Structure 1
Amino acid sequence: MLPARIDVPPATYLEQVGTIFARFGDGTQDSGNVSYGVRTATTQYFVKTAGDRDNTEAYLGFDDRVGLLRNAAELAHSVSHPTLPALHAVIESPDGPLLVYAWRAGDLLGRRHPAYERFKALPTDEIRTALDTLYELHAALDAAGWIPGDFYDSSMLYDFGSRALTVFDLDLYHRGAYRNTMGQMFGSSQFMAPEEHVLGAPIDTRTTAYVMARTARVLLPEPPPALDEVIVEATTARFPNYRAFYDAWLTASSTIEESRTNRST
């Protein structure tokens, strides 16, 4: 049973209950967050914290990091999906909450990592399957009112052995539509919608459709024509909402499968 509160720093507590086998902080995350891989006698966890409250080099202050961790916990409690690691507990500490997630195996798909090109070199059908699960997740998030923020390839892990996609680090997703208060928002320009570059622009479910279509454009080098048409529409004329994009993607996928079945009979 994990406690609701601890009275020691996060790292001290984690060293007491298990072995820290990985640390992600300075040099790997510029947000100021510090995360840990922790192994106990029975399982492994991924534990995310707000990091050092005195870190002045992070692009977010300590209170903002704490707020985003609480936002991530709200998202995890509101949506359950196989791509999302289970959130086992939120433990309060003198240095903010510890979000204790299930550990997920996989390689980071960020373009600076070897898995990026390896993933893009997979058979088209395998990439499509991964995208299908990503889009199914976002259908659930969309239905719960969540709008993306700072989603890009480094928000995903891929286990090449089990062909399983994991999506994580959704701290900047918003519950409901919102306005761009930054101008140039956080994220990778390869995945961002035009409104994520414009101060005051609305960020809503249309943005979700654009970002997901850009994900396909980046990760699926040679999409079948039917899917390519959906990607083009999502990033030019634009779909009115995410559900319209998702339905169009499912329809195009069905067309591909029907055509394949007809050719084999």
Structure 2
Amino acid sequence: MTDLLALARTDLPAEGLVASAGRTLARYDHRTQDSGNISWLVATEQGEYFVKSAGTREPPPPGAPIPYLDHAARVRLLRSALEIAQSVDHPALSRLRAVVEAADGPVLVYDRAPGELIGVPSARRSDPASPYRRFAAAPPGIRLTVLGQLLEAHAALERAGWVACDLYDGCLMVDLATGRLTLIDLDTYRRGASTNDMGRMFGSSRFMAPEEFELGAPLDSRTTVFTLGRIARHFGTGLTEDLAHFCGGAEAAEVIDRATRPSRSERFGSVGELAAAWARAM
């Protein structure tokens, strides 16, 4: 068996590397995502890991969603994920254990995160048994614990210079029994302020700031503030979006209202300011 944590380079492609390391518990490819990445949950002699690759250089299979990015661009995003892991140490960030340079690009090996992925396909969002619905209906203490970790982690990311991009409920792994949050798939985060160079940026429209739909608009900490506020509002109100139902009380609801204002100048100027206001409201 290959020890993923001890290997720096291999002539094998990512698929072969994973097969040599242990038993595959799950595989995530074009059937579950449209990024072009291929990832696995794998049980090895050393433990269970989430292993992420840029996928193959081959075109997607017939009928598969067309990836947003080609293989070279997906490799660049994995390098960005590595940079995030090296620049920020926070318990809510998924723990990167190793990087293996495989024949088809870097393979990132993370500890398997506890809990369930909160984001589900749109067809499952009405299912009361889905993690999405169960998190939205969880006791206020659990939801507030998760949201607090989300803000604290992004304050740490901000201090290291990162601006969120494509942050949505599909980045949230939550242990609904304990309220432990693990953030995953932050590959598209940008280093420092930038401008919208796509028109419609990556992301879920449920959580995106207005400037993420406007070509040439500024993208910075105020953009991250909006998305964080939208996630808090969405789940903190039990999906009603009515801040009168916010699980953290009226003062915290006012914080979220300010964070999610369409006008950038009316929001908090930084994630740090948002996190501090949240802490005072708690």
TM surpasses 0.5: yes
> Which whole-Å CA distance do the structure 2 matches of 1:129 and 1:161 have between them?
11
- Identify which of 43, 47, 61 aligns with 2:47: 43
Could you tell me which residue of structure 2 aligns to residue 213 of structure 1? 229
- Identify which of 256, 259, 265 aligns with 1:231: 256
SS for the counterpart of 1:92 is strand
1:107 aligns with 2:109: no
- Identify which of 14, 17, 26 aligns with 1:13: 17
> Which whole-Å CA distance do the structure 1 matches of 2:92 and 2:35 have between them?
23
> Which whole-Å CA distance do the structure 2 matches of 1:14 and 1:34 have between them?
11
- Identify which of 93, 97, 104 aligns with 2:102: 93
- Identify which of 170, 178, 184 aligns with 2:194: 178
- Identify which of 241, 244, 260 aligns with 2:270: 241
In the TM superposition, what are the counterparts of 1:42-61 in structure 2 within 5 Å? Answer: 42-56=46-60, 57-61=66-70
- Contact 1:83/1:137 (8 A) holds in 2: yes
1:22-67 Cα distance to aligned partner (Å, 9 max, x none): 1011111100000011111230110000102112532210000000
Deviation, structure 1 residue 163:
2.5
1:22 aligns with 2:15: no
SS for the counterpart of 1:150 is coil
TM-score, normalised with respect to structure 1: 0.92
Identity of aligned residues (%): 45
1:4 aligns with 2:20: no
> Which whole-Å CA distance do the structure 1 matches of 2:59 and 2:84 have between them?
26
1:131 aligns with 2:156: no
> Which whole-Å CA distance do the structure 2 matches of 1:60 and 1:2 have between them?
30
- Contact 2:143/2:179 (8 A) holds in 1: no
- Contact 1:32/1:55 (8 A) holds in 2: no
1:250 aligns with 2:248: no
In the alignment, structure 2 segments of 5+ residues that lack a partner are 61-65, 125-129, 238-244
1:142 aligns with 2:158: yes
Deviation, structure 1 residue 162:
3.2
- Contact 1:111/1:117 (8 A) holds in 2: no
Deviation, structure 1 residue 94:
1.4
The one-letter code of the counterpart of 2:274 is F
Could you tell me which residue of structure 2 aligns to residue 257 of structure 1? none
- Contact 1:76/1:86 (8 A) holds in 2: yes
Could you tell me which residue of structure 1 aligns to residue 73 of structure 2? 64
SS for the counterpart of 2:94 is coil
Could you tell me which residue of structure 1 aligns to residue 137 of structure 2? 121
In the alignment, structure 1 segments of 5+ residues that lack a partner are 254-265
> Which whole-Å CA distance do the structure 1 matches of 2:114 and 2:219 have between them?
32
The one-letter code of the counterpart of 1:156 is L
- Contact 2:138/2:176 (8 A) holds in 1: no
> Which whole-Å CA distance do the structure 2 matches of 1:191 and 1:225 have between them?
22
The one-letter code of the counterpart of 1:229 is E
SS for the counterpart of 2:99 is strand
Deviation, structure 1 residue 197:
0.7
SS for the counterpart of 2:182 is strand
1:204 aligns with 2:220: yes
Deviation, structure 1 residue 111:
4.4
SS for the counterpart of 2:46 is coil
Q: How many residues align?
A: 253
